[in-house]
Amino acid sequence: MGLPPIRRPGWLDDFAAFVARGNVVDLAVGVVIGAAFTTIVTSLVEDLLNPVIGLLVGGIDFSNLFVVLSGERGPSLAATRASGAAVLALGAFVNAVIKFVIVAFAVFWLVRLIRRVRAAPGAGKEPAAEEVLLREIRDELRAARGGAAGSVPAARVSGDRVSGDRASGDRASGDRASGDPGHGEAVAPPRPVP
């Protein structure tokens, strides 16, 4: 009498496919790079910026800037905390804010660069299928009307909109008389002013 075979759960295959996707691998690389970037930012703040800021402010060492709420004040923040005193570590908070601003600024520029790369127009990029279709319809309408004075005005295709070329504001006289402005709307002829 043996044990029944152990079946492999279905979710395990889904999980393996999820982990193997490019997004998860990219995320893992981002986390590793982010951890390395954090150590660089920490060194920049604590070893370069804080001494300069402290010198400008009058020799204040931000790493040891703290307020004792209860207990005895020691020679440093670490010694005061080791003695069991309750402290407000204002310098550590200032360091954290400076680190956050630097990281946020770097991420801002990175995202901005990525958007520019993605938005860069591709050389020889084909027009969208909708744009091609609209151009074909325009050309067929022109051909059907024979390019006469009452023809459909040239259409400009930009983005998602198609607009008639009405920059000068004039319409063909044939359109006005027939009540058709050239884009499918019925318009009543103008009334005389009394």
d(CA 71, CA 62): 21
d(CA 61, CA 47): 11
Count of domains observed in the chain: 2
What's the pTM? Answer: 0.46
Asked whether residue 186 is domain-assigned, the answer is: no
Q: State whether 74 and 155 are in the same domain.
A: no
* Domain that residue 145 falls in: 126-162
Taking CA atoms, 69 is separated from 27, 76, 89, 90, in Å, by 42, 15, 10, 12
Q: State whether 61 and 137 are in the same domain.
A: no
Q: State whether 56 and 136 are in the same domain.
A: no
Asked whether residue 188 is domain-assigned, the answer is: no
Q: State whether 131 and 76 are in the same domain.
A: no
- The CATH number that applies at residue 81 is 1.10.1200.120
The secondary element (H helix, E strand) that includes residue 70 is strand 67-70
Asked whether residue 170 is domain-assigned, the answer is: no
Per-residue pLDDT of the chain (194 residues; tens, 9 = 90+): 677 788 888 888 888 887 777 677 778 888 888 888 888 888 888 888 888 888 887 877 777 888 999 988 988 888 999 999 999 999 889 888 888 888 888 888 888 888 888 876 655 577 788 999 999 999 999 999 886 544 445 555 444 454 544 444 444 444 444 444 455 555 555 666 65
Q: State whether 37 and 105 are in the same domain.
A: yes
Q: State whether 130 and 94 are in the same domain.
A: no
Q: State whether 49 and 104 are in the same domain.
A: yes
pLDDT of residue 173: 43
3 state SS for 123-172? CCCCCCHHHHHHHHHHHHHHHHHCCCCCCCCCEEEECCEEEECCCCCCCC
